[in-house]
Amino acid sequence: MIEYTPGPWDVEEGYLTAAGGRFTLGYLYKWEKDAPKEAAANARLIAAAPDLLDALIAIAPPMPPFNAPCHNNLVSQIDCAHCRRIADAHAAIAKATGEQQ
């Protein structure tokens, strides 16, 4: 179950907001003087997080059962680059949601 503030999230003048600016989630330009481009890039990445998570959940295929042959008929899924990317996608979803995939 997703518990975060629903998107879209936006960044305006360093403030990360949701619901069309009705909620302030944080101030993101902490390092503005030292690395303004990096801070702006960080802000864009954070603001895109709900969209990225939704997109990843939508396209991540289910993981084959552990020790089952994968789509390439490899017994060890770790030997398949495609299956490793699927596992990485599920790990990223779990990191974002706090849920086991």
User: Reading across the β-sheet that carries 15-18, which strands appear in turn?
Assistant: 9-12, 15-18, 23-27
Least spacing, CB of residue 69 vs Zn ion, in Å: 8
> Which CB, 47 or 80, lies closer to Zn ion?
80
> Which CB, 18 or 70, lies closer to Zn ion?
70
> Which CB, 47 or 83, lies closer to Zn ion?
83
Residues 6+ apart with CB under 8 A from 47: 8, 9, 10, 11, 16
Binding-site ranges for Zn ion (CB under 5 A): 70-72, 80, 82-83
